[in-house]
């Protein structure tokens, strides 16, 4: 059992004789019988013509739900899909989530795209890793195709629009004791707020770290700034984004989906703080299964999967800042590994060439003040 980035407990379903599997499967079977009884009782009720039509539709939806639950627990797709169950142990409602995800998507891409279309254009600002497309081609099963590969220069003048700042005096983020690192990060954000008038997007890898930072920042700011936090502040991703844009002195904290697809152009966003390099949790069901198979094949799961996946996510986070030719701002990476580890070069080489400052925190704050 593990936890995902929203703090939910996860149970990976791998074998039908697994004890957790048996408990969950028995619960699902009970639910199927309950749905069957409800459908049967609905069929015995008499309604007006209009309500009779609604009854039929409701019965069909229940029958579909029953079938989907049955399919989820069938053993026929375990070789190609990863299945797991999540429960929100801290929530007020007893909610159970059933997840199923393909372990690899290369066959899906081949069946639904490559084999059906004469030509395909894959385009994105984050397809390459260290200057090449090898990782994404391997993930999508495109390695044997005769592809035309192009990297199109950006229209933005990143050297004048962006500065990348990395503090070199932060406490080491230890797995079993993250508090000193989180406190240092929050102190930096607190000091930066006056320099940026809020207008910051803080990107986290995990909900646990986001939650701890949120409550610490709330004490530090004492209502001076509006803190908007994914999973804590109510509302959809789009609603949280709009609230951030509508309130002048606000700071947005997010994880997961906030690394990508978030468009906040102009003066609404002046700084992006990347708290940790975005490596996937090795305990995530899909990641764990992939790493096991990579290891079984005699390859290194870190260099083959973890690193390139993190680089692409890092590029997506970097891309939240500059959305037009007139945008300016700073990127702060609180994770010094980007400068001290050999693999850090893969992150640096995958983003546009920008001025990089790896210095003490007080010196970085002076740089921020001067640049903005």
Q: How many CB atoms lie within 10 A of CB 311?
A: 25
Q: How many CB atoms lie within 10 A of CB 187?
A: 15
For the chain, give the percent of residues with pLDDT over 70. 80
Given this model, what pLDDT does residue 75 score?
61
- Which residues lie closer than 8 Å to 60 by C-beta, 6 or more apart? none
How large is the average pLDDT for residues 356-362? Answer: 97
* Dihedral sign for Cα atoms in the order 11, 13, 18, 22: positive
In Å, how far are 167, 195, 250, 296, 356 from 359, measured between CA atoms? Answer: 5, 18, 27, 42, 10
The full set of domain ranges for the chain reads 2-101, 106-140, 158-371
Per-residue pLDDT reduced to its tens digit, 136-176 = 999 999 998 889 999 998 889 999 999 999 999 999 988 78
H helix intervals, 103-229 = 106-109, 134-140, 158-161, 179-196, 207-221
Look at 272 and 56; give whichever has higher pLDDT: 272
Residue 235: pLDDT band by 50, 70, 90 thresholds?
A: confident
Q: Is 93 helix (H, G, I), strand (E, B) or coil?
A: coil
Residue 35: pLDDT band by 50, 70, 90 thresholds?
A: low
Which range, of 90-104, 174-188, 345-359, averages the lowest pLDDT? Answer: 90-104
Residue 265: pLDDT band by 50, 70, 90 thresholds?
A: confident
How large is the average pLDDT for residues 39-60? Answer: 59
| For residue 50, pLDDT beyond 50 | no
In Å, how far are 43, 141, 295 from 59, measured between CA atoms? Answer: 8, 41, 47
Token output for 270:
């002046």
How large is the average pLDDT for residues 215-234? Answer: 92
Mean pLDDT of the chain: 85
Given this model, what pLDDT does residue 64 score?
72
| For residue 224, pLDDT beyond 50 | yes
Give the strand pairing for 200-204 and 250-255.
parallel
Per-residue pLDDT reduced to its tens digit, 7-27 = 566 666 665 545 555 666 666
For the chain, give the percent of residues with pLDDT over 90. 55
Given this model, what pLDDT does residue 99 score?
83
Residue 248: pLDDT band by 50, 70, 90 thresholds?
A: confident
Task: Please say whether the beta carbons of 211 and 232 come within 8 A.
Answer: yes
Return d(Cα 243, Cα 344) in angstroms, integer.
34
How large is the average pLDDT for residues 29-43? Answer: 68
Look at 323 and 276; give whichever has higher pLDDT: 276
Provide the phi-psi class of 312: left if phi over 0, else alpha when psi is between -120 and 50, else beta: alpha
H helix intervals, the chain = 19-43, 49-72, 106-109, 134-140, 158-161, 179-196, 207-221, 237-246, 285-296, 301, 307-318, 337-340, 344-349, 361-371
Residue 296: pLDDT band by 50, 70, 90 thresholds?
A: very high
Residue 81: pLDDT band by 50, 70, 90 thresholds?
A: confident
| Strands ordered across the beta sheet of 96-102 | 2-3, 9-13, 81-87, 96-102
CATH superfamily of 158-371: P-loop containing nucleotide triphosphate hydrolases (3.40.50.300)
| For residue 202, pLDDT beyond 70 | yes
How large is the average pLDDT for residues 109-125? Answer: 91
From the list 205, 342, 170, 337, the residue with the least C-alpha distance to 279 is 205
Return d(Cα 304, Cα 248) in angstroms, integer.
43
């Amino acid at each position: 059992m593990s936890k995902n980035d929203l703090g939910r407990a996860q149970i990976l379903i791998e074998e039908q004789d697994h004890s957790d599997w048996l408990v969950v499967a028995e619960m699902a079977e009970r639910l199927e019988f309950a749905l069957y009884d409800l459908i049967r009782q609905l069929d015995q009720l008499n309604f007006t013509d209009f309500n009779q039509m609604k009854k039929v539709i409701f019965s069909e939806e229940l029958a579909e739900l029953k079938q989907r639950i049955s399919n989820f627990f069938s053993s026929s797709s375990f070789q190609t899909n990863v299945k797991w169950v999540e429960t929100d142990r801290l929530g007020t409602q007893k909610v159970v989530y059933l997840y199923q995800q393909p372990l690899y998507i290369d066959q899906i891409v081949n069946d639904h795209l490559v084999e059906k279309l004469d030509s395909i254009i894959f385009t994105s600002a984050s397809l390459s890793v260290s200057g090449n497309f090898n990782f994404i081609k391997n993930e999508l099963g495109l390695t044997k195709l005769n592809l035309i590969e192009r990297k199109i220069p950006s229209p933005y003048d990143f050297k004048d629009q962006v500065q990348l700042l990395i503090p070199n005096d932060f406490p080491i983020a230890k797995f079993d004791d993250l508090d000193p690192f989180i406190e240092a990060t929050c102190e930096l954000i607190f000091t930066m707020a006056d320099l940026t008038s809020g207008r910051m997007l803080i990107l986290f890898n995990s909900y646990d770290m986001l939650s701890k930072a949120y409550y610490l920042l709330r004490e530090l700011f004492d209502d001076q700034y509006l803190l908007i936090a994914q999973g804590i502040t109510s509302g959809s991703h789009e609603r949280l984004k709009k609230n951030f844009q509508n309130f002048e002195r606000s700071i947005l904290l997010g994880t997961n989906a906030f690394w990508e697809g978030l468009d906040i152009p102009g003066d609404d966003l002046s700084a992006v703080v990347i708290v940790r390099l975005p490596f996937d949790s090795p305990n995530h069901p899909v990641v764990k299964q992939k790493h096991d198979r990579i290891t079984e094949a005699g390859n290194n799961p870190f260099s083959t999967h973890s690193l390139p996946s993190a680089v692409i996510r890092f590029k997506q986070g970097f891309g939240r800042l500059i959305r037009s030719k007139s945008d300016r701002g700073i990127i702060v990476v609180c994770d010094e590994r980007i400068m001290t580890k050999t693999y850090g070069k893969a992150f640096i080489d995958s983003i546009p060439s920008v001025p990089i400052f790896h210095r003490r925190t007080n010196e970085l704050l002076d740089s921020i003040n001067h640049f903005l």
